[in-house]
């Protein structure tokens, strides 16, 4: 049975009660369905996946998945250190705990395919092949960054690697992804450029699914059968708002079928399960069968951003997901299936430590951008900044690009 049919056919009847920690403050009688945490079903399928007697991947594939997840984790741990040392500015949102989603999907993509992310975007960029040194330098605001330091943490972009941006406004990336998928189909079918079978993946969070752009884009993607995959990283929280309190029907995957799109729910802490679903969704998109909505149940191991003391989530909930760390679980799978030895994995860990160290050194040495770069790509007419006391446009002041204080 395909991953889709197995998941789609799961009964929507909502039986077991929610965990006490996630109880809503409104009376349950006002709900259409009794709510429940989805993790109980997920845990069953995860255990089944990891206990499978034959590996579903080759040794090389397994090592690639492991290396990519370790890169994501180590890179982000280093980001935290650098942020607290004052090397980064503004908000920095880390992805610790969610690595199986990025790795499970993106490592199956080709270079020509595109990825769109949110402000939690560093790891998607890394999985898609943007060199760690370019991501770190971008975080440091330096010219060696993938956007020459102009984007920063929340705006990773690399045309070369098909990373079409991290977006700080939630939901903003979804229409961009839909447009990219539209352009693929248009080029192939209208302009007859047969090689354009590229696929776009939009990653976004559970909280974002309450935003109108999500629904508008599901509609357009279904209408035009676009080669796109909507991947919801349901980490159960939108800053301090529990998903179960904020959404009328918390099973996001069910919103796909409402638009005629397959909806799939998968354990986002199990890289092999994610990969299984991703394979089918990517194949569907590439062969012209249209979009898929995938809800990955996952968890962030840190606060919403590095400025968040993370006091709202209950310790037992955090412990529950910490025990399901996707890297630890996959390591166990690798050993159980004799895909690699402990020393081989240690060698990968060491290689990644070196890559991350080198990324920091590179970012540190990379020069700051010139101040004149501030107004590059600003489409507003600089005359809109007004007229100064001497009667000339402020933008004609020689100090204009020296910083906003001059304006
Ligand atoms: C349009 C818009 N409204 C509000 C915000 C403020 N905001 C920043 S993050 C966030 C929560 C998003 O949660 P979710 O989509 O679950 O993503 P997660 O942070 O959990 O990855 C909100 C509401 C925003 N960035 N953009
Ligand atoms: Mg969330």
Q: Say what the pLDDT of residue 162 is.
A: 98
Q: Which residues line ligand 1 (CB under 6 A)?
A: 120, 168-171, 204-208, 233, 235, 237-239, 304
Q: Provide the residue ranges of all domains of the chain, joining segments of one domain with +.
A: 3-8+35-369, 372-406
Q: What is the pLDDT of residues 66-101, one digit of tens each?
A: 999 999 999 999 999 999 999 998 999 999 999 999
Burial tier of 315 (Cβ tally within 10 Å: 0-12, 13-18, 19+): exposed
Nearest CA to ligand 1 atom 19: 238
Query: Of 269, 234, 260, whose CA–CA distance to 249 is shortest?
Result: 234
Does residue 233 sit in helix, strand or coil?
strand
- The model's pTM is 0.86
Least confident among 20-34, 79-93, 306-320, 371-385:
20-34
Cα 363 to ligand 1 centroid, rounded to whole Å: 28
Of all atoms in ligand 1, which is nearest to the CA of residue 171?
1
Of 43-52, 287-296, 364-373, the range with the lowest mean pLDDT is 43-52
Ligand 2 center–CA 304 separation, angstroms? 9
Q: Are 135 and 359 in contact (CB under 8 A)?
A: yes
Given pLDDT bands bounded at 50, 70 and 90, which one contains residue 400? confident
Mean pLDDT lowest for which of 9-18, 216-225, 322-331? 9-18
Quote the pLDDT of residue 402. Answer: 64
Closest by CA position to 201, among listed 88, 73, 101 = 101
**Residue 197 alpha carbon to ligand 1 centre in Å:** 31
Q: For ligand 1, what atom is nearest to the CA of residue 204? A: 15
- Rounded distance between C-alpha atoms, residue 133 and residue 130, angstroms: 8
Q: Which is the closest atom of ligand 1 to the Cα of 205?
A: 15
Query: Between vectors from CA 70 to CA 69 and to CA 71, what angle results, nearest 5°?
Result: 90
Please give the average per-residue pLDDT across 265-286, as a whole number: 97
Q: Note the pLDDT tens digit of each residue in 105-161.
A: 999 999 999 999 999 999 999 999 999 999 999 999 999 999 999 999 999 999 999
Residues sharing a CB contact under 8 Å with residue 300, sequence separation 6 or more, in sequence order: 94, 95, 96, 97, 98, 120, 235, 237
- b/e per residue, 124-153, with b = 16+ CB within 10 A? bbbbbebbbbbbbbbbbbbbbbbbbbbbbb
Distance, CA of 266 to CA of 392 (rounded, Å): 61
Q: How many CB atoms lie within 10 A of CB 67?
A: 18
Position 32 confidence tier, pLDDT thresholds 50, 70, 90: very low
Whole-number pLDDT of residue 181:
98
Which CATH number among 3.40.50.150, 3.40.640.10, 3.20.20.150, 3.40.50.970 corresponds to the domain 3-8+35-369? Answer: 3.40.50.970
């Amino acid at each position: 049975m395909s991953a889709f049919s197995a998941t789609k056919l799961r009964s929507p009847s909502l039986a077991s009660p929610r965990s006490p920690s996630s109880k809503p403050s409104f009376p349950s009688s006002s709900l259409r369905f009794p709510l429940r945490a989805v993790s109980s079903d997920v845990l069953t399928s995860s255990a089944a996946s990891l206990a499978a007697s034959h590996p579903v991947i080759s040794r090389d594939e397994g090592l690639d998945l492991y290396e990519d997840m370790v890169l994501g984790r180590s890179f982000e741990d280093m980001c935290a250190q650098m942020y607290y040392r004052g090397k980064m500015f503004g908000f920095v949102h880390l992805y610790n705990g969610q690595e199986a989603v990025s790795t499970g999907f993106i490592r199956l993509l080709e270079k020509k395919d595109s990825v769109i992310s949110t402000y939690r975007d560093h790891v998607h960029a890394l999985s898609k092949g943007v060199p760690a040194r370019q991501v770190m330098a971008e975080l440091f605001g330096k010219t060696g960054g993938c956007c020459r330091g102009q984007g920063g943490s929340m705006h990773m972009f690399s045309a070369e690697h098909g990373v079409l941006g991290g977006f700080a406004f939630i939901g903003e990336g979804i229409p961009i992804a839909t447009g990219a998928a539209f352009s693929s189909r248009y080029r192939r079918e209208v302009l007859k450029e047969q090689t354009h079978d590229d696929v776009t993946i939009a990653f976004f969070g559970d909280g974002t699914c309450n935003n109108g752009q999500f629904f508008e884009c599901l509609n357009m993607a279904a209408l035009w059968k676009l080669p796109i995959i909507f991947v919801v990283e349901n980490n159960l929280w939108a800053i301090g708002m529990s998903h179960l309190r904020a959404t009328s029907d918390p099973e996001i995957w069910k919103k796909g079928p409402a638009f005629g799109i397959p909806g799939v729910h998968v354990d986002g802490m199990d890289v092999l399960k994610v990969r299984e679903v991703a394979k089918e969704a990517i194949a569907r998109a590439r062969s012209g069968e249209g979009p898929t909505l995938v809800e990955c149940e996952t968890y962030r191991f840190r606060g919403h951003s590095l400025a968040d003391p993370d006091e709202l989530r209950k310790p037992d909930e955090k412990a529950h997901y910490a025990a399901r760390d996707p890297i630890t679980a996959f390591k166990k799978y690798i050993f159980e299936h004799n895909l690699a030895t402990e020393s081989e994995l240690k060698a990968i860990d060491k290689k990644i430590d070196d890559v991350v160290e080198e990324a920091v050194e590179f970012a540190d040495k990379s020069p700051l951008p010139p101040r004149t770069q501030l107004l590059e790509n600003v489409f507003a007419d600089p005359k809109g900044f007004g007229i100064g006391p001497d009667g000339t446009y402020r933008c004609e002041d020689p100090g204009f690009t020296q910083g906003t204080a001059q304006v």
